[in-house]
Structure 1
Amino acid sequence: MHHVVFVVYPGFELLDMSGPASVFNGANRALGQQGRPALYEIALTSSSGGCVESSCGVVLQTQPITDLQVVEAQTVLVAGAEREHLLTAVTDSVMQAELPRLARRVERFGSVCSGGFVLAALGLLDGYRVATHWDACGPLAQAFPKVTVDPDALYVVDDQVWTSAGVTTGIDMALAMVAQDLDASIAGEIAKRLILYARRPGSQSQFSPLLQAQVKGDSPFAELIGWMQENLSAPLDVSSLADRAGMTERTFHRKFVAATGETPARFVEIARLDAARMLLSRGLSLKAVAAQVGLFPPARLTEVFQRRFGVAPRLFRDMHAEMSLTRS
């Protein structure tokens, strides 16, 4: 058995624990359907044990972390929380003594969302590259200068340290753990059962340019951005977009950057690559995808896709298409 231990404390984010736990339980289910024994055993631990209330009011039963033997843990993950609850966890003397003991001896340890603050406060992330929720990247980097914070990744694996960004990305990280422990097909089966659109690579950005633009309801380019999304194969150079917006190129460029935080060219490239990723996960050919998203010929798609995601589009498609095709 591979023992996965979740470290929680009053006010923790429930999905930080329940999302990854569902993945590991899904792996056991998939193994059982193949006539194979379960691999994962899940445990919940806290400073003093007993009932611990999450941020949404759901109460979980835990065992004291002092009762946990090292042989009972191969993976240790700390859940995240809002600032006031993190401060309580960080200053807990039992946590301060026991977490380093576990981290030194387990196969891998890490955190989901802002749980990285607990590990960083104990010096357990010094010298490592980590991910955390986008809203916590700045504070984490400022408070712990020995930690390298990757503000863009969904999750980061650095040696035995696994850290993920906000909330649902703990599911992506857990799927990657299952793929490492077992194989990608098991991880794909779990993702399908959880009705996930696709397994997201850790290198994928936390931010979608379309989502960011949609958040700004008063954006003067909301209509233009919607049109761009539906016409990615069209010429989307600054001149064409400025004409459509009824502005000079200089004015359009300046106002677009102010509204979206990206240059028009960068925005278009990210939107095209995000669309390409979705189409590839459905099993479409590189030629078809390149044409649909305006990154033709396929060689151009390959160049920009690999530069952003760190993996060739053909490999990405092969990794994800089987799951998506089966689901459809």
Structure 2
Amino acid sequence: MTLRVAFLVFDGVRTLDVSGPVKVFHQAAQFGCPYEPVLASARGGTVTTSSGMALGATVAAADVGPVDTVVIAGGDRLAEAPPGGGAELLSAASVLAGRAARVASVCSGAFVLAALGLLEGRRATTHWRHAQTLARGFPLVRVEPDALHIRDGRYFTSAGISAGIDLALALVEDDHGSDLARRVARELVVFMQRPGGQSQFSTALATPPARNGLLRTLTAAVLADPAADHSLSAMAASASVSTRHLTRLFRSELHTTPARWVERVRVDHAQRLVLDGLSVTAAAHHSGFGSDETLRRAFARHLGTTPTDYRRRFGTARGPVP
């Protein structure tokens, strides 16, 4: 049975958000599990991507008909005001989503689903650069900025750009099992599950300064010296507030707990130290983890790999040295 997958595109859509997943479905079809990709847009006709390339002969959303899966591609305009790309695009997405058994988004496509209320009370992710904007604009969505892709019910969301390939592999696995998904990944020379686990680029050092002055001072101190004592009690004492109040501040502004935010900063710092050539023991000491084992557990939790394997894979763009 051929499975129809509609991609909602628009002026300013990122090319790879569409072409990457389409290639995954095309390769699955080459292996005997056919998919029918359909390019849909609000009005039909030609749309222009963010790179200036034209996607021709798109079908108006109202004319697409039944589909098995809808994929909302990403583009910067979706994260800007009005979120979701405006009423016309939201209407097209609503029509398509209402006809599909499964609804997915790539990168900022999550803003469309959130604006339609489809992600309320659900876990979701997007590109790390847009995660805080999504969380602030849609507080009922449980945004997880570190994930490459997340499934919650019939909704799939994924991180930025190339993560659309990871998402498509997950959809193929959902339809036809892990053997086919692994075969497609091998053919495309990509990872079935990326080394570094399911974590995308860290947001801890990329988030804007906190608006609250007290929190801004505390986070600046952590970033300046990750190895210092930044336990919840120590930070609360330094700021002359209760641990409960400090926890509320972190949840309100950074959408996480103090301990998790500090650990994420320390992992970021340890990543750089490992890539700079420090031993695992030295990286653990200088990033505040204290022991090799604590550092390894943190890497496993956030990156899904070990410090040694991380250095081997990412220490050079030339790949591992024999």
TM-score interval (norm. to shorter):
0.5 to 0.7
66, 75, 90: which one pairs with 2:84?
Answer: 90
168, 173, 176: which one pairs with 2:170?
Answer: 176
After superposition, the C-alpha distances for 1:70-89 in whole angstroms (9 at most, x for unaligned) are x2x11001111114785478
Look up the equivalent residue of 2:193 and give its one-letter code. Answer: R
Could you say which residue in structure 1 is the equivalent of 2:47?
52
TM-score normalised to structure 1 length: 0.64
Could you say which residue in structure 2 is the equivalent of 1:39?
34
Name the SS of the counterpart of 1:151 in structure 2: coil
Instruction: Tell me by how many angstroms 1:227 deviates.
Output: 2.6
Contact 1:130–1:147, Cα closer than 8 Å, also in 2? yes
After superposition, the C-alpha distances for 1:95-125 in whole angstroms (9 at most, x for unaligned) are 3333223323311002100111112112122
Could you say which residue in structure 2 is the equivalent of 1:28?
29
RMSD: 3.5
1:14 aligned onto 2:15: yes
Paired residues, number: 243
Instruction: Return the structure number with greater helix share.
Output: 1
After superposition, the C-alpha distances for 1:238-273 in whole angstroms (9 at most, x for unaligned) are 5xx4xxxxxxxxxx4xxx46xxxxx46565544577
**For the residues of structure 2 that align with 1:74 and 1:8, how far apart are their CA atoms?**
17
Look up the equivalent residue of 2:62 and give its one-letter code. Answer: T
Name the SS of the counterpart of 1:196 in structure 2: coil
Aligned in 2, Cα 1:46/1:271: closer, same or farther, shift over 3 Å? Answer: same
TM-score normalised to structure 2 length: 0.65
1:121 aligned onto 2:171: no
Contact 2:20–2:162, Cα closer than 8 Å, also in 1? yes
Instruction: Tell me by how many angstroms 1:276 deviates.
Output: 7.7
**For the residues of structure 2 that align with 1:97 and 1:275, how far apart are their CA atoms?**
37
Contact 1:12–1:85, Cα closer than 8 Å, also in 2? no
Unaligned runs of 5+ in 1: 32-37, 213-218, 242-251, 258-262, 280-291, 294-328
61, 64, 71: which one pairs with 1:68?
Answer: 64
Name the SS of the counterpart of 1:42 in structure 2: strand
Contact 1:89–1:95, Cα closer than 8 Å, also in 2? no
Matches within 5 A, 1:254-273: 256=287, 263=289, 267-271=295-299
Unaligned runs of 5+ in 2: 207-268, 310-322
> Share of identical aligned residues, percent?
36
**For the residues of structure 2 that align with 1:27 and 1:86, how far apart are their CA atoms?**
35
Could you say which residue in structure 1 is the equivalent of 2:185?
191
Aligned in 2, Cα 1:75/1:264: closer, same or farther, shift over 3 Å? Answer: farther
